[in-house]
Copies of this chain bind each other. A is one copy, B any other.
């Protein structure tokens, strides 16, 4: 009795393949298992903000519900949640983003280096959630790295179906998910279209991608198709897939921060030539952070964080990288590593790697856009804020600057430069079927596909065309699948998703029993643009995200005026505030689907979006929700939303810099370190939504509240559209 020595690291992952399969089923019957539309808002704690446990359950539920601006959905149970997602190691991501993040893809699959890891708050402790991640094309351009910068090199190649990676621990309770950062280490990037392993996402080299994170409240993967997806996009995680690094600065940054690349650090060990001495001063930057949280990450990661010192504050403030970026202007490059010896002469701020992705698909040289977003030369980061850690209170405060302009190209949403304005789109899973669940990838342990019905051989991936002919979702065989799903105890184990009804289009592959390791539904964005739209289902290939991102970046850059504010998005924390219920999504609100599936920017939109502001990159939180016929938002909700946001900001700032409620105060750098003690506590969120549904490309969203009490320091801009009347909420 006095024992209880065991401390089991339970893996609550509850992924019955059957569930998985079912989840993958593209459900085209929105009402199938959904609650009646317009259920009405359910109570949601408004102040989950700071700490998940600090909310008042019933007190402000109603308010919160309104804040969300729409029917709270969550038909299933009466759950009080208001997820707030914070990107871990945001500062690191920012550093990469400024240079133009590159991710190597290999045949065998490569991890993302700045590991995609998020910290979640505001979930209902008891409710079960399924967390997912996917990577979708950021646009439809092909890129090339020329003259030390990324340039558009034509139209994108066709995208392979993107897989929806289900966090292996799903489903798990909110408490469990909030206990520690949620990592997706098992997800690997590959260019091998015949990928046999799981956990791999097929990308096109020299194309730009955007990782996305999804939260679904569901206690069973079987319910995934009928559940609401809350999608979070961290623009700073955008990257170009490459087979070999193009930008030496990126290489050096990777070497300096990825423990597995220590062998390439200039420690006098006769390392390779090339990028030389950037390392020393910043050694053990990201790594130290990881140490702190060691053992706390999920995603079956045994190797995510390297070993080493475990006491350094993991917050960006503590990390040398961050420091460098913010304080070091010694180097010519943007806050990249202090590396004194940049090889390619990109050291100079202007044309340097700092404007990696400025170019959009219009085939116009990136320089134009880059220049736009890369105002100041040299280290820039002139705005110390620019490099502020995602968790530091400072970043939030700094952006008290004006709401910013909302010019189409540059004046995006200035949801506080560094305060991460989340753009949340809530979508019903039933709808994500056509656009959301491109394919579900259930991560196994150690990359070891445990239950491969196909004898661990051929993957069961469904191509969009397979599953659904042009607009032939119901006709495809989805009904068949859905039927199966309906069964409570239905086992997907041997259920052949695509083969049976869709014909032998290669879905089943070898193996005997068809198995839905990763169900390939339609991959909207990534594929929608490049492939003929499926029937009339996806009229809008462009995704909200992209638009929002563009708007946000534009506004951010203008608002901050920081030279480095080239990046479209830089937010680190998001919190669901606004929920769109594009019940009619398939036709009337296709964008939502698009966004979820692809997040593509059309050429024209790309241009509109402008390059980007690296400074204020709002996290786009897309909360997709079905079950509600109307898209008309409640103005009151919006207002409440703003109020909530303000309070949240205060809470956050208080949390981070002990400056509760004073977002205006520009916290000195000192805060940074404090902010991110061990787990990057400094969570901040902002709700970014478009008050003028008519003027934006986004699905109908609630109009801006009449009166906005939002503090000036935290401007609420619509990230969903750039032409919105109420671009600035504050």
List residues of A whose CB falls within 8 A of some B CB: 1-20, 53, 77, 125-128, 160-161, 163, 166, 168-169, 171-177, 179-180, 192-202, 219, 295-303, 439-466, 489-494, 498, 505-509, 512-513, 515-518, 520
Contacts and interface: CB of A to CB of B under 8 A. Distances in A.
23 contacts: A2-B463, A4-B505, A5-B160, A5-B193, A7-B459, A7-B461, A8-B441, A8-B517, A9-B444, A10-B450, A10-B518, A11-B451, A12-B450, A12-B493, A16-B128, A125-B493, A127-B491, A175-B453, A176-B450, A179-B450, A180-B450, A295-B456, A299-B445
A157 to B, nearest CB: 13
A174 B295 CA distance: 32
B494 A125 contact: yes
Contact of A198 (B10, B446, B465, B490): B10
Nearest to A463: B1
A445 B168 contact: yes
Contact of A445 (B125, B300, B452): B300
Nearest to A456: B296
Contacts of A160: 3, 5
B219 A10 contact: no
Contact of A505 (B1, B177, B493): B1
B7 A196 contact: yes
Contacts of A10: 15, 17, 20, 166, 198, 441-444, 449-452, 515-518
A15 B17 contact: no
A456 to B, nearest CB: 5
Closest 7 CB pairs of A and B: A9-B449, A7-B459, A300-B445, A8-B517, A302-B446, A9-B198, A176-B451
Contacts of A458: 4, 7
Nearest to A490: B126
A493 B445 contact: no
Given A7-B452, A9-B197, A300-B448, 8 more contacts: A1-B462, A5-B459, A8-B199, A8-B449, A12-B19, A125-B491, A127-B491, A180-B452
B448 A297 contact: yes
Copies per complex? 2
A599 to B, nearest CB: 19
A197 B461 contact: no
A514 B49 CA distance: 22
Given A125-B494, A300-B446, A445-B445, A12 B15 contact: yes
A161 B3 contact: yes
A11 B441 CA distance: 9
A459 B4 contact: yes
Contacts of A127: 491
Contact of A13 (B168, B457, B459): B168
A161 B1 CA distance: 8
B175 A295 contact: no
Given A3-B161, A4-B507, A16 B173 contact: yes
A259 to B, nearest CB: 16
A490 to B, nearest CB: 8
Nearest to A445: B300
Contacts of A465: 1
A455 B681 CA distance: 14
A129 to B, nearest CB: 10
A295 B176 contact: no
A450 B168 CA distance: 10
B448 A506 contact: no
B202 A295 contact: no
A35 to B, nearest CB: 15
Contact of A7 (B174, B449, B505): B449
A33 B303 CA distance: 42
Contacts of A301: 445-446, 448
Nearest to A53: B512
A725 B518 CA distance: 55
A177 B302 CA distance: 24
Contacts of A297: 448
A509 B7 contact: yes
Nearest to A300: B445
Contacts of A77: 489
Contacts of A490: 126
A300 B77 CA distance: 32
A233 to B, nearest CB: 22
A171 B199 CA distance: 20
A224 to B, nearest CB: 13
